[in-house]
Every structure is written in C-alpha cells, then in structure tokens.
Amino acid sequence: MDAHLTHIWKPLLHEVATGSLNSTDNELNYLAQAKWNHFEFQLGRFEGLDRAAREISLAATLDEEGRELVPARTLGYDTLVLAIGSVTNDFGTKGAADHCFFLDETGQALNLHRQLLGHYLSAHARKGDGNRLDIAIVGAGATGVELAAELRNASEELAAYGLSAIQPQDMNINVIEAGPRVLPALPERIGTAVHTQLEKLGVVVRTSSPVREVTAEGMITADGTLIPAHLKVWAAGIRVSSFMKDIDGLETNRINQLVVSQTLQTTRDENIFALGDCAACPMGDGSDRNVPPRAQTAHQQATLLAKSLRNRLEGKPLPEYRYKDYGSLVSLARFSAVGNLMGSVMGNVKVEGWLARVFYVSLYRMHQMALYGIFRTGLLILNDRIGKRTNPRMKLH
C-alpha cells in the first residue's frame, strides 16, 4: 500500500525540480505493477499498527477538494514488511520548515520547479536590467551537489529558450555544508573532484558552515553570516516520519528508524520486517555502525527479503543481510559525472567524465529492468530517444 498511486525513483527528484526530467514520463504506476506482478495494491497512508491483532491502519484518502475518496480502514497481516523510506531532517533548525523546499516526494520537486520557472517568467515580463536569482542549498551530499549542477544547467537552458532576462551568470548558487568537505559519505578523493567541478561551474561551496536559522531573506550561518536566497532548499540529513517513533512498542532509534537484526526482522517482533531508509540495520562487521541509507542498500535488502519470505513460508532459516558497497556515482548534469566503482576483481576504481555518466545512466536502467523487465525497459529507452527529438530539452511549464 502507499499514499500515492505513482512513484518516482527518489534519486531523480532533483532533476524533476529543475525541469530536466518530466515526472509524468518517469512515474511508476502501482496499479500497473500489481497487474503485471500479481499482487494487490491498496491506496492509503500507513498511520497505525496493532501488533496484538496483527493489523495496520490506513488513513482516509481525500481528493483535491477535501472530500473522502477512499475511507480509513484496517488490514490484517501474517507477515508485515515496512519500506516507508525517509524524509529530510532539518534538525529543528529555526525557520527551515517555513522557508525551505524539501525533495522528499514528487509534489515537492514540482513545486520547486514552478517557483524556479516563475522567477524567470516574472523577470522576462519586466524586461529590466539587474535581474538575479539567488539560490541556497543546505547539504553537500549527493542530492545537494547534483541539484546545484542541474540548476546551473537549467540557467543555460532557460536562457537558450528565450528567458534571458536572467542570464546564467545571474543565477548565484550557494551550497552550504556543516561538515568539512563535500560528499562526506564518499571517499575524500571523490568529494575533492566534485568540489572542483562545482567551482568550475560557478557554484559557491561553503564547507564548515552550519546553518543556524533560515529567514525569508536567506540562510544565517553559525557565525552570523547571511547568505541571501530567493529559493532555499534543505537537502541535509534524513529521518523517518515522527509517527514511527516507538510505534506500538517497536524499538526505534533517535531518527525514528526501526531497529532490525541481520535478518531484517524488528528486534521486538519477528513477524515484522523493515528495509531501506526506515530500517536501522547493523553492518554485521563487528562495529556499532548501521548500513548507510542508500538506494543500493534498499535494493540489496529487497532482494534478500524476497528469499526470506519464501524461506519463512517453507519453514527454512532466514538469510542474514550483509551490506556490499558497489561504489557511488554522482552526476553533475550534462557537465560531468564522478564516482567510484568497487568489486572483488577491480578493487576501488575512480571513474569520471563520459564513462562515469554512462555508468550513472545504467544504474537507472537497471532499476527500470527490475521493475518492468527487459522488453518494457527497451521500449522506455526507445521512447526517451524519440522524445528528445520532439520535446524541449527541459520542462517549460
């Protein structure tokens, strides 16, 4: 079940926000997936759990005018798998929730795109000089740096399509990071390369600059510096929705993730599994670290759980999850891509430029093949190729 009928792969939301990706062309439809893969889909937002009765509660779904479309209801289960993902963590920063855009779901990304385009259309109508657009992004993780590069690309594309009252050099992009470097979760050499590329694109990167407060005028850092911004995006940190905190007695951590064992079963109920960003799973290497909240983690865990559920039905032991890091790739729009690939044969290899871009696109195609199969994915690739000949290079509405 899900609160929405469609879904977009979360690593693509920054492209939706800048208009380089049309959301309607890349949405996964749950009802279609249910038909193709022989499961039942229920529309509704998960809002409660009764472990004693083995039931979950779904909230009522309302239409655009606030009328009840689907009623609230309960569903029973024998085995429950929770994969509800995460949302951005603003760490309680004053003003962040009121003034910042977040990129947790498609609607938020589309809203940012409308605001971005609105600034350009407004400046185009005025036809005056001195138009500028200041944008501040908090967080220099993958989302933050990829968004910055896509925004720089958007500034050039919008000018090329006639919205030239704001020239590319008039879009001032600041990436603000509390830590000492860009991409702190990746090897330092990758972060250094990306930092250099961003500066070449004219992006100002401010490290060791935690944000103390967000106002209508911009970001105020811990040392009192005001970074002016018309558009403010918060892309730092994750947490699970607050309603998951200790839900019906299950163990959760400080960011509301469900604590699970190596089998991905919750520590206080063997009938409930969790995977992806909503699960705090130990690395299994003797340390006290948890596996990182990354797309490849969720993919690996989903693959393991498919086997686990079969074993559970057959009364066989459940396999244990061991995280395997296959590397990371960061796309800087059409300008470049940087990353590292890891494997038992090649070791840890840095890739960048055209080759890294090919690998980056291949990751999404592999995601599509897992969902649609080879034949349908081939048709999607063909459709994308045709669309590039007939559609503008970015969404202009």
Dist. CA 386–CA 143, nearest whole Å: 28
pLDDT at 357: 80
The 10s digit of each residue's pLDDT in 57-84 is: 999 999 989 999 999 999 999 999 999 9
Give me the mean pLDDT over the 203-226 stretch: 97
Could you tell me which residue, 248 or 22, shows the higher pLDDT?
A: 248
pLDDT at 379: 87
Dist. CA 47–CA 60, nearest whole Å: 10
Is it the case that residue 151 has pLDDT exceeding 60? yes
Give the closest residue to 222 by CA, choosing from 237, 210, 205.
210
The 10s digit of each residue's pLDDT in 16-40 is: 999 998 888 889 999 999 999 999 9
Answer CATH for 6-87+239-314 from 3.40.50.10090, 3.50.50.60, 3.40.50.720, 3.60.40.10 = 3.50.50.60
pLDDT at 351: 82
pLDDT at 327: 84
Chain-wide mean pLDDT for the chain?
92
Q: Which two tokens stand for residue 367?
A: 């995601």
Alpha helices in the chain (DSSP H): 13-18, 30-37, 96-99, 106-126, 142-160, 188-200, 295-314, 354-390
Cβ-count burial 195-214 (b if 16+ within 10 Å, e if not) = bebbeebebebbbebebebb
The 10s digit of each residue's pLDDT in 292-304 is: 998 899 999 999 9
Strand (E) or helix (H) holding 219: strand 218-221
Confidence of residue 347 (pLDDT cuts 50, 70, 90): low
pLDDT at 92: 95
Q: How does DSSP classify residue 166?
A: S
pLDDT at 349: 74
Spatial contact of 245 and 253, defined as CB atoms under 8 Å apart: no
The count of other CB atoms within 10 Å of the CB of residue 102 is 19
The 10s digit of each residue's pLDDT in 357-373 is: 888 888 888 888 888 88
Spatial contact of 274 and 82, defined as CB atoms under 8 Å apart: yes
Confidence of residue 205 (pLDDT cuts 50, 70, 90): very high
The 10s digit of each residue's pLDDT in 260-280 is: 999 999 999 999 999 999 999
CATH number of this structure's domain 89-238: 3.50.50.100
Dist. CA 159–CA 210, nearest whole Å: 33
Residues of the chain with CATH 3.50.50.100: 89-238
Residues of the chain with CATH 3.50.50.60: 6-87+239-314
Spatial contact of 43 and 2, defined as CB atoms under 8 Å apart: yes
- What is the percent of the chain with per-residue pLDDT over 70, rounded to a whole number? 98
- What is the percent of the chain with per-residue pLDDT over 90, rounded to a whole number? 73
Confidence of residue 343 (pLDDT cuts 50, 70, 90): low
Confidence of residue 386 (pLDDT cuts 50, 70, 90): confident
Dist. CA 116–CA 250, nearest whole Å: 42
Helix 142-160 with 188-200: angle, nearest 10 deg: 20
